[in-house]
Amino acid sequence: MTHNQLKSYHILNTRPQQQASALSRCLREHGAQVTEQPAIDITFNHIQADIHNINQYDIVIFVSANAADAVAAYWQPCNATVLCVGPATQHAVHKFHSETTTPHHFSSSGLLELPQLKNIKNNKVIIICGSNHNTYLSHQLTSRGASVKLAISYQAQPITTIDNKKILSILEKKINIIICTSSAGLTQVHAWFAQNAHLNELLNTKVLVISEKMHTLAQQLGWLNDKILHSKNPTNHSILDTLLQTA
């Protein structure tokens, strides 16, 4: 069924190319116009050796959907405890591994509150993550006595080459909401408009973010609080619900 609750919206979707289309389709089904302009480029690494040896670990932690997507093609069945940072990551992992746990708070701090990570002295833990990973989780697990391995399953690089012509094309479309699902992406979008002398137009446009950390970053970059929408998590369902509540 097609709905039109978002028919007054023209949304700039800055998600990486691999994830943008599903979100755009969902938004269009509810009447929105959508322009895709990825802020981050994702390139998968080959970490087959780490996955081939996955059964030597007691705990496997996925910290993003991209981390899971990168290893899906060559995942090996394992008996380890598998943890996911949030529902979007869990959805990606469930394509190849069914038994997982997510924390109540979708963050590194939330993961550290899980009972599975409380008494882990001498446990072997592998964190499957991207090149832009936060070291807080690995440091905390090491301090609890675990042996921690980082497996970098993808590279995340900001897309810096966007010229003034492209910015003007975006502005001409009268975008009224920008979706950013990573701090690096939000920072890069801000840089695009600042470099091309259109920062005021950007800061007068609502931005949707997916965490308290990103909310704070948006404020630091210059958005006023009434211009910031906060989705509970990065799933398409949550993003859509947040937009529908403002429609």
Beta-carbon contacts of 195 under 8 Å, excluding residues fewer than 6 positions away, are: none
- At 245, give phi and psi (nearest 5°): -70, -20
Exposed/middle/buried for 4, CB within 10 Å: 0-12, 13-18, 19+? exposed
**Bridge partners of 200?**
none
Q: In whole angstroms, give the CA distance from residue 85 to residue 63.
A: 5
Helices and strands (H and E) in the chain: how many: 11, 10
Token reading at 229: 């929408």
Cβ neighbors of 228 (< 8 A, separation 6 or more) are 206, 207, 208, 209, 215, 218, 219
In this structure, the dihedral spanned by the alpha carbons of residues 204, 208, 209 and 215, taken in order and rounded to 10 degrees, is 40
How remote is the C-alpha of 214 from its chain's centroid? 11
Structure tokens of 2?
A: 């097609």
pTM of the model: 0.86
Specify the pairing of strand 147-158 against strand 40-44. Answer: antiparallel
CA 202, CA 176: separation in Å to the nearest integer?
Answer: 10
pLDDT at res. 106: 87
Residue 183 has pLDDT above 60, yes or no: yes
- The whole-number pLDDT of residue 133 equals 87
Read off the pLDDT of each residue in 10-32 and give the average, rounded to a whole number: 95
Q: Tens digit of pLDDT for each residue in 107-151? A: 899 999 999 999 999 999 999 999 988 899 999 999 999 999 999
Please state the rounded mean pLDDT for residues 167-185.
94
In terms of Cβ atoms closer than 10 Å to its own Cβ (0-12, 13-18, 19+), residue 25 is exposed
Of the candidates 156, 176, 143, 142, the one whose C-alpha atom is nearest the C-alpha of residue 11 is 176
